[in-house]
């Protein structure tokens, strides 16, 4: 590619031929204000907020659709540019309701931010505002407030170019133009809520998050979506120790700028409901609370004396937990049937943009850690249903909830251990129940379907009484005579890097927020 040198506000910027000024400036750390521009969408050039001054050009140019030229000198903060931005802001606010105190976008609204930066004056136009529709339901996840819309058309282009579902269009003309659904259409494609993320103002809001909490109260933690094996990068945003929403993080190697709706809202099912906070053991009359010491002793005794054993680990468990689980099961019963729980589904073409057929975010990683007896999860569940086992250890999955035929088989087991966050239908049948942490309460790594190792970070604190899966598994290993005493997920990962061939050379600290590729194809513990 041809190298091009330009000057932006007196700073030399080296870029490539064909790059737009707005992108070249952004790459150099110079933010040019904009509304309609989005780097993953086509150029609209309609908001005029990104106007810049270019030496030897008589008129201001839009940075989003002006390509760099060698020697070009660009001013983004000249008096002429600032005056035009102020005028553009004044124009955009003519019909805007200016209802920031009640707008759900307040705190992350570019219209609000740019007004404070470039205008901060009352409008010179004394005209009646054109009123548009309010609280229009566009789909199951999105509400439209037309009065706040600035017609940047990001949402329209997203549905045309990314999902190719074409639910939205601009209708009418002049100051009566608005965003509308096509007749008979609903904005219900599998990626629909991304239009909320890319809307630069408060015109499109998330029905699930709407009026839950002001965004400046949210605590944001970079993490990985637990919805499937794509491993989309997300920000887990919490308030008062409860997850309030997922937002996508940019990672061009994984999910670009997007996440699917299924993953976006999956935390309701995975982190909601009544939590287990104390171990339980079965006695006459049912499950009763017990101490951790008694529960762990019962697990050790039961797994040691009852064979054959079926062991099933959730695909939402981390690599570190899978590593310990495989060691534990092989210690108790080297011939045990050991598998990671997996559910696959058929996907539409739109779903394939982001989603994986495999619902388990760490299926590949768990198998790399040795959670596999090579028969496959479906085969193991068939054998379990057929009554071929005397005991079972289930971590993080409700087998009965996913396959009712397993209820009778689990009831017949001599010994059943369930380690989970809630008292599921499977846990109700257990002889010992161990309360664990869910995905949002733990730290570790996932390996996505393409072999990228990424960090999961704790966004909230588990309730008193629940323990990390890794802590529980280490205590059971210690009871079995194994000398394991890892102080943190990073120490467990260091052991993985020593023992698992494909992970050799990886360092926990260098994975970062964008992840790291495996050095070779997946492989079990050596």
Question: How much is the pTM?
Answer: 0.93
Please provide the average confidence, as pLDDT, over all residues in the chain: 93
* pLDDT value, residue 526: 43
225 within a domain of the structure (yes/no): no
Q: Kindly report the number of other CB atoms within 10 A of residue 517's CB atom.
A: 11
pLDDT tens digits along 18-75: 999 999 999 999 999 999 999 999 999 999 999 999 999 999 999 999 999 999 999 9
Q: Are residues 172 and 291 in the same domain?
A: no
pLDDT tens digits along 484-494: 889 999 999 99
Q: Which domain holds residue 69?
A: 3-92
* 107 touches 214 (CB < 8 A): yes
Over 257-324, what HEC string results?
A: CCCCHHHHCCHHHHHCCCCCCCCEEEECCEEEECCHHHHHHHHHHHHHHCCCEEEEECCCCCHHHHHH
295 within a domain of the structure (yes/no): yes
Distance CA(49)–CA(47), nearest Å, equals 5
pLDDT band at 110 (very low <50, low <70, confident <90, very high): very high
399 within a domain of the structure (yes/no): yes
Distance CA(111)–CA(118), nearest Å, equals 10
Over residues 99-121, mean pLDDT: 88
Candidates 120, 229, 300, 152; CA nearest to 452 is 229
pLDDT tens digits along 137-154: 999 999 999 999 999 999
pLDDT band at 320 (very low <50, low <70, confident <90, very high): very high
72 within a domain of the structure (yes/no): yes
443 or 402: which leads in pLDDT: 443
Q: Are residues 310 and 426 in the same domain?
A: yes
pLDDT band at 399 (very low <50, low <70, confident <90, very high): very high
* pLDDT value, residue 12: 94
274 within a domain of the structure (yes/no): no
pLDDT band at 482 (very low <50, low <70, confident <90, very high): confident
* pLDDT value, residue 274: 87
Distance CA(399)–CA(406), nearest Å, equals 7
Over residues 187-216, mean pLDDT: 97
* pLDDT value, residue 522: 53
* 437-438-441-445 Cα dihedral, nearest 10 degrees: 110
The values of phi and psi at residue 269, to 5°, are -80, -35
439 within a domain of the structure (yes/no): yes
Query: Residue 196's domain is classified under what CATH number?
Result: 3.30.70.20
* pLDDT value, residue 463: 96
Q: Are residues 339 and 477 in the same domain?
A: yes
């Amino acid at each position: 590619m041809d190298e091009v040198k330009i000057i932006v506000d007196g700073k030399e910027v080296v870029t490539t031929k064909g790059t737009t000024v707005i992108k070249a400036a952004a790459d150099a750390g110079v933010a040019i204000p904009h509304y309609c521009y989005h780097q993953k969408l086509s150029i609209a050039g309609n908001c005029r907020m990104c106007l810049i001054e270019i030496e030897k050009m008589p008129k201001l140019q839009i940075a989003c659709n002006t390509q760099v030229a060698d020697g070009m000198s660009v001013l983004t903060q000249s008096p002429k540019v600032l005056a035009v931005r102020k005028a553009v802001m004044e124009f955009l606010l003519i019909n805007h309701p200016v209802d920031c105190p009640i707008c759900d976008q307040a705190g992350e609204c570019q219209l609000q931010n740019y007004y404070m930066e470039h205008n901060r004056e009352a409008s010179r136009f004394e005209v009646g505002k054109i009123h548009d529709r309010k609280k229009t339901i566009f789909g199951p996840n999105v509400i439209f407030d037309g009065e706040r819309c600035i017609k940047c058309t990001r949402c329209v282009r997203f549905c045309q170019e990314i999902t190719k579902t074409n639910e939205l269009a601009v209708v009418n003309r002049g100051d009566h133009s608005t965003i509308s659904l096509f007749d008979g259409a609903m904005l219900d494609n599998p990626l629909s809520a991304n239009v909320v993320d890319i809307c630069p103002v408060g015109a499109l809001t998330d029905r699930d998050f709407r009026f839950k909490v002001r965004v400046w109260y949210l605590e944001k933690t970079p993490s990985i979506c637990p919805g499937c094996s794509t491993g989309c990068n997300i920000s887990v945003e919490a308030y008062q120790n409860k997850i309030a929403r997922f937002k996508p993080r940019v990672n061009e190697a994984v999910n670009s700028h997007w996440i699917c709706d299924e993953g976006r809202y999956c935390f309701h099912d995975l982190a909601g409901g009544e939590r287990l906070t104390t171990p339980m053991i079965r006695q006459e009359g049912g499950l009763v609370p017990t101490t951790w010491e008694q529960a762990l002793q019962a697990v050790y005794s039961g797994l040691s004396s009852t064979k054959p054993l079926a062991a099933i680990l959730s695909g939402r468990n981390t690599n570190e937990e899978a590593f310990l689980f495989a060691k534990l099961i092989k210690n108790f019963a080297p011939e045990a049937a050991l598998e990671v729980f997996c559910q696959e589904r058929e996907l539409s073409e739109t779903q394939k943009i982001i989603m994986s057929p495999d619902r388990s975010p760490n299926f590949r990683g768990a198998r790399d850690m040795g959670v596999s007896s090579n028969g496959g999860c479906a085969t193991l569940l068939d054998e379990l249903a057929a009554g071929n086992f005397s005991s079972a250890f289930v971590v993080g999955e409700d087998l009965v909830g996913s396959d009712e035929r397993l209820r009778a088989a689990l009831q017949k087991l001599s010994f059943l251990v369930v380690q989970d966050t809630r008292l599921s239908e499977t846990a109700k049948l257990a002889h010992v129940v161990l309360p664990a942490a869910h995905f949002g309460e733990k730290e570790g790594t996932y390996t996505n379907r393409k072999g990228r190792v990424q960090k999961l970070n704790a966004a909230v604190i588990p309730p008193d009484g629940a323990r990390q899966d890794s802590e529980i598994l280490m205590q059971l290993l210690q009871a079995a005579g194994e000398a394991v005493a890892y102080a943190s997920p990073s120490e467990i990962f260091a052991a993985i890097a020593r023992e698992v061939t494909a992970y050799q050379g990886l360092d926990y600290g260098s994975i970062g927020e964008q992840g790291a590729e495996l050095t070779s194809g997946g492989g079990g513990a050596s």
